[in-house]
Amino acid sequence: RTFVLLCLQNTRNMLETRYFFARFGGFFMGASLLTSCLGEPEPPQGVLSPEEMKPLLKEFHLLEAQVARMSFQNQDSAKVAFQYLEKKIFKKYGIDSVTYAKSYQFYGENPAVFLRIYEDVSKDLEATKDSVYRLKTKKP
């Protein structure tokens, strides 16, 4: 008897869910289609443009690799080195850590834009790797 009641309850829940999607599914699909057609959002005030983010992200990935290759005895030393070099990058590009954090958060909330940025960053890093490899293998 309990099994039958559970089956009836599950069937009722499935029918209610199906009714909900049948009634409102078109609305949600239309709304998602409309928002996807609106294009990508403009960065708000205080957020770096995608073109400004690309070299920063490339620099930070290179910095992470550089610190990882330094072979520090503990994580604290690596963190201090990273923070020191990070400040140099911020100074080089004339921004502060708050602007970078706001920009990173904005693009993290807009994955389609972030993906396009990272595609370019990935290509740049690959080109850098190839040029370094050519220098290492070049005969004197």
Locus of tokens 């994580």:
75
Are 99 and 52 in contact, with CB atoms under 8 Å apart?
Answer: no
Question: What pLDDT, on a 0 to 100 scale, did the predictor assign at position 39?
Answer: 61
3-state SS of 4-18 is HHHHHHHHHHHHHHH
Question: What pLDDT, on a 0 to 100 scale, did the predictor assign at position 38?
Answer: 52
Question: What pLDDT, on a 0 to 100 scale, did the predictor assign at position 96?
Answer: 95
pTM, to two decimals: 0.66
18-69: pLDDT as tens digits: 444 444 444 444 444 444 545 677 888 999 999 999 999 999 988 888 888 8
What is the pLDDT confidence band of residue 85, given thresholds at 50, 70 and 90?
very high
94-119: pLDDT as tens digits: 999 999 999 999 999 898 899 999 99
